[in-house]
Structure 1
């Protein structure tokens, strides 16, 4: 691997030397390349760490283009994002008790109104709950009848007051028992004509976006039967670097684009904590979808405008200007003798540019294309010094 690297460096040195136009210089450069290939120091000046010495003619010959960083007062970020159902408008529909699915009244994509019965489950537990309601109702009727009789007898001074009090207590207890049985029915969502039938009703109006069960399937308590979403408003989910999150606030506008469609969303949630896995800041924006233009799960591009940070303007460079050298990101800054590999701290990419958080002032002239050639020349010099 070492010989291959040095051979490539030697070829680059020959190319650069060929551009000088001086025969003696060409011979020196060729001797230098041969020496580098043999593992001996060449004649290029790399005394300063990160310095690449090139003339103007050599820069033009190898196709290196120069430019300056883009300095803006705000800056934008282009980030991958996903359309999700609005957390406030999405609800899972499940059965509170186990049973067998005997009816599914809505299919995927169909609309449903709040309170409509969308599924029916047969369950022994449903039959037991309904039976308890019937028994409690019968006990209450008996207790009320007994209370009426005791009131009549007490008014005729036939029964003592103690019997009347006991009848009132029994009627009160029966009424409480009936209320408890009805509460169990309500909690389980039990409805329908059959004694063992459990009717599942829609808790919200919206559209069915998931139906993970099939007819005849036996489901456990709390198993998901449907997922209903009100898609008139959807959520846009994306992530920010922690440093960029400080320049974004709830209420900021986000431009959403995908497949010749575009719209604007407004940031409603900026997480105060990093995601433990990605180490990024989750962000959610709300997007009007009454026209049905956006689909849940769709991948889109979010363009986030960054606010100013204590008066500091954002600095961006083309992604082609950035290389990695010795484990750190560098940008090659033009000097009187060539280029200096300047370490930088990168931010998020925005299209074909990347934000520079530190390392550049924004006034430098840099190599916007051809930086890989400079990286190779820099590597040749470092290898020469190591030998």
Structure 2
């Protein structure tokens, strides 16, 4: 048995070596994996540890996106709008019933005061004139007979051939004949006036704006036939609020921008309504403008503006820099390398100039973001590129002027 022992050990030794090598390999792999885990843990801390996060890059704004507050006068502008109207507009009406025989003018035709515009069949009115003339002649004959009879009775009464009562009756008949003649004369004059007024003539100089009837149509009295418009003077009828009307007065210059016209036109306030309109608290303002060359037309829409000078320098920023949230106005400023959201109180606005007055909440030397940006966060790092970052440097552009002092 002892002789066999070395042979057994010899036969088992290769297997044992393999097992030992395999175990060593496993241990080596585990050690390498553990070392990699430790290194990875050192390089990438846990997600809950905020100390390992990288800082967000600073926002950079160029000079065109930043503006400095300016101190400047802000002239107040009062605006009102409405259609242009022609105050001298006449409607030609038929003064008597009859058939329209002819209209000699068309829409757009220029007419002069007293010019014939057409004809109406006035046979009925002419017959009435003839009737009144006959009544007048009859009254004249009656008066002549009453006068002759009264003269005769006066001579008879002087010779006591008739009583005083008969003479008084003769005189009463004479007075009645005279009254009848006056009545017949008045009726004839009235009928002739009606016939004369029934003639279609232009009452004013102007342009035919519209025809309301056509030849051959049966007309009633006072039926509209033509509308004549005088464009030499036009008016803009607008409204202003009650807190602005105190700044206006008749004679003030008004600049009007009329639709379809490239250049503005000048007018002046002609009159202001004495009371506000019920329910709107708006007060009417009428602006008159000369239109001798008749380039403008009634009905064109126009916007009028009254500019009132301002002697006060006000702190202003671009309108585009002002945002609104929860009913409050605010601006974004860059202060000490960070974004700051400033709530402000605004005053006057100059829409044409693109500026708004800041009454409270903004430092005169704080640059503001003149453009609108989304997802800005207060406290985020921010810088201003170019000369706009230096408050003392000249402005790089119109949107980035020097700050107010």
Normalised by the length of structure 1, the TM-score is: 0.64
Distance 2:348 2:279 in 1: 21
Listed one character per residue, the Cα deviations across residues 267-288 of structure 1 (whole Å, up to 9, x for unaligned) are 1022233455765433222212
Cα distance change, pair 80–372 in 1 and its aligned pair in 2 (3 A) = farther
Contact kept? 2:132, 2:184, Cα under 8 Å: yes
Distance 1:237 1:277 in 2: 18
Distance 2:73 2:318 in 1: 14
Shift of 1:239: 3.5
Residue 141 in 1 paired to residue 137 in 2? Answer: yes
Listed one character per residue, the Cα deviations across residues 24-65 of structure 1 (whole Å, up to 9, x for unaligned) are 4439xxxxxxxxxxxxxxxxxxxxxxxxxxxxx647279743
Residue 256 in 1 paired to residue 261 in 2? Answer: no
Listed one character per residue, the Cα deviations across residues 177-211 of structure 1 (whole Å, up to 9, x for unaligned) are 5424543664xx5349xxxxx42222222222222
Listed one character per residue, the Cα deviations across residues 102-134 of structure 1 (whole Å, up to 9, x for unaligned) are 221222222222223323334xxx555444443
- Map of 2:183 onto structure 1: 176
Shift of 1:167: 3.4
Residue 167 in 1 paired to residue 174 in 2? Answer: yes
Contact kept? 2:133, 2:188, Cα under 8 Å: no
- Map of 1:68 onto structure 2: 69
Shift of 1:146: 1.9
- Map of 1:332 onto structure 2: 331
Residue 107 in 1 paired to residue 122 in 2? Answer: no
Distance 1:317 1:99 in 2: 71
Match of 1:285 among 284, 287, 306: 287
Residue 209 in 1 paired to residue 209 in 2? Answer: yes
Contact kept? 1:332, 1:371, Cα under 8 Å: no
Q: How many residues align?
A: 310
Distance 1:145 1:355 in 2: 90
* Structure 1 runs not aligned, ≥5 long: 1-21, 28-56, 193-197, 379-387
Normalised by the length of structure 2, the TM-score is: 0.61
Contact kept? 2:68, 2:317, Cα under 8 Å: no
Distance 1:314 1:172 in 2: 84
SS in 2 for 1:215: coil
Distance 1:120 1:155 in 2: 50
SS in 2 for 1:250: coil
Shift of 1:323: 4.1
Contact kept? 2:69, 2:315, Cα under 8 Å: no
Contact kept? 2:333, 2:369, Cα under 8 Å: no
Distance 2:345 2:183 in 1: 77
SS in 2 for 1:320: helix
Shift of 1:253: 0.6
Shift of 1:83: 2.8
Cα distance change, pair 154–185 in 1 and its aligned pair in 2 (3 A) = closer
SS in 1 for 2:244: helix
Shift of 1:138: 1.8
Listed one character per residue, the Cα deviations across residues 318-368 of structure 1 (whole Å, up to 9, x for unaligned) are 543454433x47252748561323354777x64354776x95699856857
Shift of 1:292: 2.2
Distance 1:355 1:174 in 2: 82
Cα distance change, pair 271–335 in 1 and its aligned pair in 2 (3 A) = farther
Cα distance change, pair 146–239 in 1 and its aligned pair in 2 (3 A) = same
- Map of 1:268 onto structure 2: 270
Cα distance change, pair 344–329 in 1 and its aligned pair in 2 (3 A) = farther
Cα distance change, pair 71–170 in 1 and its aligned pair in 2 (3 A) = farther
Distance 2:219 2:363 in 1: 67
> Which has the higher Rg, Structure 1 or Structure 2?
2
